[in-house]
Chain A
Amino acid sequence: MERRTAIRHMALLCASAMLLPSCFNHQQEASIPLQQIAISAKQEQLLAELVETIIPKTDTLGAKDLGLHLFVLKMVDDCLPQKEQQQFMDGLQTFEDKTIGGTKFAESSNQHKINLLKEIMEPRYKESNLQFFLKEVRKQTLKGYQQSEYVMTKLRPYILVPGHFSGSVKRA
């Protein structure tokens, strides 16, 4: 390509990029940097709803408050082998379209949401990417919750220095 033409193309590309609304990017991408998987803002929102369904806010903080949907994404992005990332993404897409009584997950009542999750865990979905996805989200949500600073300092304190060991202690 002629140098001059290349510059002109470049300039056009830049200009068209500038014409895009500034919020466009935010709608398309997740709010944390991910290297391996591409997650849209909408999917991120759905995951936030999902983890909140798994561990809801009660008189203590829930999964969404603790940002566990982002923890799930971080773990999937960094720690899953490529093949399982694929399964996760595939399962997520199926989950997005999944309805219960004609209603999508995000629009359902809490009880309907839980019923849908229970359904996905049924044996008939055993080999499916959908179940793989849900199991992975659940696993990482639980891990992120139980090993969060909040739970480990406020609710079930982690003792860094126990100072002693007893082999038989009556449970409280």
Chain B
Amino acid sequence: MSKNKITNFDAIVIGSGISGGWAAKELTGKGLKTLVIERGRDVQHIKDYPTTNLSPWEFEHRNELTEEIKQANPIISKCYAFREDAMHFFVKDAEHPYLQEKPFDWIRGYQLGGKSLTWARQTQRWSNYDFEGPKRDGFAVDWPIRYNDLDKWYSYVEKFIGVSGNKDHIPQLPDGDFLPPMELTKVEKLLQQKIASNYQDRQMIIGRCAHISQPKDIHLEQGRSSCQYRNLCQRGCPFGGYFSSNASTLPWAAKTGKLTIVTDSVAHSIIYNEKQQKATGVKVIDAKTKAETIYHAPIIFVNAGALNTNLLLLNSKSKRFPNGLGNDNGLLGKYLAFHNYRGSVTAEYHAELEYTIEGRRPTSGYMPRFRNVFRQDTDFLRGYAVGLGASPSDQASKNWGAELKNDLLNPKPGPWKVKSHIMGETIPKETNKVWLDDREKDQWGIPKLRIDISYDENDEKMLADYFEQVTEMFTKAGFTNIKTKDSKQAPGLDIHEMGGVRMGKDPKTSLLNEWNQLHLCKNVFVTDGACMTSTSTQNPSLTYMALTARACHYAANQLKNNKL
């Protein structure tokens, strides 16, 4: 370790992904000298997007995975975005092994910006029907916050990141501060009308997404411009058209002059000082040299990504906390949940063939949860949101020779291809858990994570209902060739794993309070997916960002008033 290395900061943020980037922006914005610790390599906006401007023919295998890569990476190869154009933004199986009690696909992105580079950019708000869910339906514990606590923080985040969306006035999916919405396709509009005329409880909308459909000054100031409808987002966007830490929060934080980033630095544990009764720093291992460094700060934000946050806290053992930091109740690493993405329904529509689309839209149609919203009306708990899309197709040719060639170059319109997928809420349970293996360690001497997470009967019932309802909706819309498919994919592949360090009112039954502080170690904040008490159905990143901004303002104020 260099003697000149600065190791004292006002705040430390562990992780630079979607929530860590926000913590960096907010804390530096409050004038705090902030260190961001990232376990992966540096990725600079634009400069480090090597594939972003490649055309299809420039990929050796036209974006397919080789058998060699699939064989070496049975887990990450299942991820839809792990292909030739973006595989450098995902963790290969051998790079950070873990142990599966039951099949769990742990999808990770170890680099500056984390998974914010490759996320699906869907940004739907939660409502009180979500925050009140556990209490009303008697599972997990009550959230210590309600929609009112987060409303203004959602706006705060949306304005900065840029969210394209329509004000739809749906009680269970509150409107936000939107840039102009993207357009539904011809047949999506038809489906929207058919659903509106057939169902009073359902509404199809255009998905709200973190894309700049029309830049405002705040976006231009970040050096970002309009989405160009390339839909190549997973490669990193040279226009800054969608939100990522790399394009937005991290450079913004750097402009304050208060930000330090260390990459290739694996957080090993948080150090607890018994006399001061608080955490004093973070032990970090250099990913390459394995050298140890201890960084100190009065505020520590843990944004390592849900499961890695669990791992880090479990590994932060001290005399006071032998079972992991803040873990007197033994619930750390338990009550994990995720989203059920197993189901999809496809169909065709053989009319409106004279219409097509122009450009490649980076979002799709969306139907917020309609089951069990205002009251319990099925035999399963909670419900699901539905992704919906319809796009034009070219007629597949069965010809050969010159006729085939002509068909390929002058394709006749084929049917509209309609697609849907489920986004189901799963119920956090004590039996869905992670813990540290007592023998196997990773390359950095940190115990491997053992993961034991599975579906339950509620998920199966919900899936059956989804198939039934979407089939009915598609039938009523006049679609044909309706096919349902259960991918049986393992939990994890949804990349929406949440919980393990849940928020709650009571230190006996939760780990974090209403400000995302560890009940038992108040200067440690957890604002990534690990903090989630329940999962609802919405893509969770927007909520992580809002929780992070809120907690950072609280933390900075507490520090200023000498309360941390």
Enumerate chain A interface residues (CB-CB to B < 8 A).
53-56, 58, 60, 62, 74-75, 78-82, 110, 114, 117-118, 142-149, 151-152, 155-156, 158, 160-171
Q: Is B310 an interface residue (CB 8 A)?
A: no
Residue in A58, A79, A167 whose CB lies within 8 Å of B64 = A79
Q: Which 3 A-B pairs have the closest CB atoms?
A: A165-B359, A162-B359, A167-B183
Excluding A79-B64, A145-B408, 9 further A-B contacts by CB distance (< 8 Å) are: A58-B405, A79-B67, A156-B409, A158-B56, A160-B230, A161-B228, A169-B355, A169-B358, A170-B354
Complex partner residue of B400 from A53, A146, A166, CB under 8 angstroms: A53
Residues B67 and A78 in contact, CB atoms below 8 Å apart: yes
B390: nearest chain-A partner, CB-CB: A167
Q: Smallest CB-CB separation from B59: which chain A residue?
A: A147
The chain A residue with its CB closest to the CB of B62 is A147
Residue of B nearest to A166 (CB): B358
Q: List 16 A-B contacts (CB under 8 A).
A: A55-B408, A56-B401, A56-B405, A75-B64, A78-B67, A79-B67, A80-B67, A117-B400, A147-B56, A149-B55, A162-B229, A163-B228, A166-B183, A167-B183, A169-B355, A169-B356
Partner of A171, one of B60, B61, B184, B413: B413
When distances are taken between beta carbons in the complex, the residues of chain A under 8 Å from B68 are 78
B residues 174-233 near A (Cβ < 8 Å) are: 182-186, 188-189, 228-230
Question: Once the chains are docked, how many angstroms separate the CA of A149 from the CA of B59?
Answer: 11
Q: Which residue of A lies closest to B68 (CB)?
A: A78
- Chain B residues with CB under 8 A of A168: 183, 185-186, 189, 355, 357
Contact between chains at A79 and B61 (CB < 8 Å): yes
Q: Is the CB of B408 within 8 A of A142?
A: yes
B361: chain A residues within 8 A (beta carbon): 165, 167
Any A CB within 8 A of the CB of B6: no
Query: Are B359 and A152 closer than 8 Å at their CB atoms?
Result: no
| Contact for A54 among B189, B229, B354, B400, CB less than 8 A | B400
Closest to A84 in B: B67
Task: Indicate if B5 sits at the interface (CB-CB under 8 A).
Answer: no
Number of residues of chain B lying within 8 A (CB) of chain A: 39
* B55 partner residues in chain A, CB cutoff 8 A: 149, 152, 158, 160
- Pick the contact of B228: A81, A158, A162 (CB < 8 A): A162
Instruction: Find out whether the CB atom of B354 lies under 8 angstroms from the CB atom of A162.
Output: no
Cα A163 to Cα B226 with chains together (Å): 8
Verify if B469 is at the interface (C-beta below 8 Å from A): no
In the complex formed, the residue of B with least CB distance to A140 is B62
Given the known interface contacts A53-B400, A58-B402, A143-B62, the answer about A164 and B56 at a Cβ–Cβ threshold of 8 Å is no
Cβ of B563 under 8 Å from chain A: no
Taken together as a complex, chains A and B put the C-alpha atoms of A60 and B405 apart, in Å, by 10
Complex Cα spacing A149 to B55, Å: 8
Inside 8 A of A118's CB, which chain B residues have their CB?
Answer: 400
Instruction: Verify A79–B357 contact, CB threshold 8 A.
Output: no
In Å, the complex CA distance between A160 and B58 comes to: 12
Closest chain A residue to B232, Cβ basis: A160
Closest to B361 in A: A165
For the complex, give the distance between the alpha carbons of A160 and B239 in Å.
13
A171 to B353, CA, bound (A): 8
> Could you tell me if B401 and A167 are in contact, using CB atoms closer than 8 angstroms?
no
Q: Is the CB of B400 within 8 A of A171?
A: no
A79, B66: Cβ atoms closer than 8 Å = yes
Q: Which residues from A are CB-within-8-Å of B354?
A: 170-171
Are B57 and A155 in contact, CB atoms less than 8 angstroms apart? no
Within 8 A of A (CB), among B414-444: none
When the two chains form the complex, which single residue of B53, B188, B229 contacts A164, counting CB atoms closer than 8 Å? Answer: B229
Binary interface encoding of chain B residues 310-353 relative to chain A, with 1 for a CB under 8 A from any of its CBs, else 0: 00000000000000000000000000000000000000000001
- B358/A165 in contact, CB under 8 A: yes
Within 8 A of A (CB), among B60-116: 60-62, 64-68
Q: Bound complex: CA of A148 vs CA of B409, how far in Å?
A: 13
> From residue A74, how far is it (CB to closest CB) to chain B in Å?
8
Residues of A within 8 A of B404 (CB): 54-55
By the criterion CB–CB under 8 Å, are A161 and B409 in contact? no
* Minimum CB–CB distance for A61 against chain B, Å: 10
CA distance A60 to B406 in the complex (A): 11
CB neighbours (8 Å) of A160 from chain B are: 53, 55, 230
Which A residues lie within 8 Å of B182 (CB)? 165
Q: In the complex, what distance in Å separates the CA atom of A144 from the CA atom of B57?
A: 8
User: Which chain B residue lies CB-closest to A118?
Assistant: B400
Docked CA distance A167–B185 (Å): 4
Q: How far is the CA of A169 from the CA of B353 in the complex (A)?
A: 11
Whether A171 pairs with B356 at a CB distance below 8 angstroms is: yes
With a CB–CB cut-off of 8 A, which chain A residues contact B185? 167-168
Contacts of A142 in B (CB 8 A): 408
